Every structure is written in structure tokens, then in C-alpha cells.
């Protein structure tokens, strides 16, 4: 990916940070998008630029503001002059048991997990066509097998999965669009899953252990680098959990 530019949303922390490091190791220039994690974003950019000068930049944007998405693409082009790949990684995740769902939850979960990827990909599409680039959306195994207590999140991710296949049609043949669906990789920062719940989830995988952010990052790298005839697909990186849910 030497000389190519990748825009990664929510890249300052967690899985997004691992994706940024993995693609940077492959030679790509990285646009680190963040919303509020300015310190983490700047630290990551400093780390990447220390390895290879002028190879990373961070850009702030609220993905729920559709008007900001074109500016996010424009900032990427202004800094590196091209856009070869987009990773729609940023995501809100919280419980919404039926009876508690309100407009704020709808706007947050659907906005971050479905609306923003659609409008950001639309803004990036002309430039991705020029470079015959690719898009990877980070979905979730619960897009197809819903998680109790999280109906709105699951519906939003299901929408993103459908959008992945629809955009693969819309952007063909110049741009490939695929998805990676994590299983138990990183637990939420809140206390939504206690230790017994985590143990039950891991026990339900075929491999009997949780994955790592690097498992997702390596799969994203594969889709960009080594899968030129793959589009409209989703790869479950879940230790085999969905094989028998």
C-alpha cells in the first residue's frame, strides 16, 4: 500500500487504532479521524510519523453532521492528494431495550453505524473511483444474529451490512466494497458485560478464546491488499461463534 492514502473513522482508539497501525505498516498514509479523542489521535499520529515522516494526519469531525463529511474527505485530499481506501469503523454501542428507545438513541446509533458510512462513502466515491480504491465497513456478527437488549444497534449494523452489498453494486467495477464483522474482540468500556457474561460469550466460540484488534486489522489489510476479486462480501472474524449461534 506504499503511497496510498487510507481514511479511517474512529481511528484514535481500540480497533480503529490497530487498523491504522496495520495499514501504516503496509506502507499506507493514514488519515486518523476522531470526534472527541484528540489526545489519543495526536499521540497515534506522532507515533506513525516518527516511523515514517509525514505519513499520518488527524482530522476532527462529528460524523453525525452530514455537512462535515465532505470536509473530512477534502481534508484528506488536501494533505495527501489522493484517496485510495476508506474504513468506516466509528460506531456507537449501547443497550436499548424495547420500551426505552427514543429519538436520541435512534440518531446516535443509526447515525454513527449507518447514516455516516453512507454519506461519507458517497462523498469519497468520486476520488475512490479515480484510484480504483476500496471500502471496508466494520459491521458486527449481531447484524445477522441480534443480541438481546440491543435491537437498535443490531438493526443499524444490519443496515450497514445491506449497505455494503448495495454499495458494492453502485461502485462497481472501479471500487470494491466489503465488510468485516467482529465477534468477541474488545469488550465495551462500560460495565455492560460482567466477567460471567464475557466467559459465556467466549465459551460459545469454537476457538474458546477472545480475539484481538489485530485480527480485525489483518483482515482489513487482506481485503485491501490481497483480495482484488472480492467485493460485496462480509468476513466474520469471531472465532467461529456464528457457526453455531
One pLDDT digit (tens) per residue for the chain, 245 residues: 999 999 999 999 999 999 999 999 999 999 999 999 999 999 999 999 999 999 999 999 999 999 999 999 999 999 999 999 999 999 999 999 999 999 999 999 999 999 999 999 999 999 999 999 999 999 999 999 999 999 999 999 999 999 999 999 999 999 999 999 999 888 877 777 888 888 988 898 999 999 999 999 999 999 999 999 999 999 999 999 999 86
Domains of the chain, by residue range, sit at 5-243
Q: How far apart, in whole angstroms, are the C-alpha atoms of residue 245 and residue 215?
A: 21
The catalytic residues are: 153
Nearest partner of 23 among 48, 57, 58, 54, judged by Cα: 48
Q: How far apart, in whole angstroms, are the C-alpha atoms of residue 203 and residue 123?
A: 42
Q: Computed from CA positions of residues 147, 184, 58, 174, in that sequence, does the dihedral angle turn out positive or negative? A: negative
For the domain bounded by 5-243, which CATH number is listed?
Answer: 3.40.50.720
Amino acid at each position: 500500500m506504499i503511497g496510498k492514502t487510507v481514511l479511517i473513522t474512529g481511528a484514535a482508539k481500540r480497533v480503529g487504532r490497530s487498523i491504522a497501525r496495520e495499514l501504516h505498516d503496509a506502507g499506507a498514509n493514514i488519515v486518523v479521524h476522531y470526534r472527541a479523542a484528540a489526545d489519543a489521535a495526536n499521540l497515534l499520529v506522532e507515533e506513525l510519523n516518527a516511523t515514517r515522516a509525514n505519513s499520518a494526519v488527524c482530522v476532527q469531525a462529528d460524523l453525525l453532521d452530514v455537512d462535515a463529511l465532505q470536509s473530512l474527505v477534502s481534508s484528506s485530499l488536501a494533505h495527501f492528494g489522493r484517496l485510495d481506501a476508506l474504513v468506516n469503523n466509528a460506531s456507537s454501542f449501547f443497550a436499548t431495550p424495547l420500551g426505552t428507545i427514543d429519538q436520541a438513541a435512534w440518531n446516535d446509533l443509526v447515525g454513527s453505524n449507518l447514516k455516516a458510512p453512507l454519506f461519507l462513502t458517497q462523498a469519497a466515491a468520486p476520488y475512490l473511483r479515480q484510484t480504483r480504491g476500496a471500502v471496508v465497513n466494520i459491521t458486527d456478527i449481531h447484524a445477522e444474529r441480534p443480541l438481546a437488549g440491543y435491537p437498535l444497534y443490531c438493526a443499524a449494523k444490519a443496515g450497514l451490512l445491506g449497505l455494503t452489498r448495495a454499495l458494492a453494486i453502485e461502485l462497481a467495477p472501479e471500487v470494491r466494497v466489503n465488510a468485516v464483522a467482529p465477534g468477541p474482540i474488545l469488550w465495551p468500556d462500560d460495565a455492560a458485560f460482567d466477567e460471567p457474561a464475557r466467559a459465556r460469550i467466549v465459551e460459545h466460540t469454537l476457538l474458546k478464546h477472545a480475539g484481538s484488534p489485530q485480527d480485525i486489522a489483518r483482515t482489513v489489510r487482506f481485503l485491501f491488499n490481497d483480495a482484488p476479486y472480492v467485493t460485496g462480501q462480509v468476513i466474520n472474524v469471531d472465532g467461529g461463534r456464528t457457526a453455531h449461534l
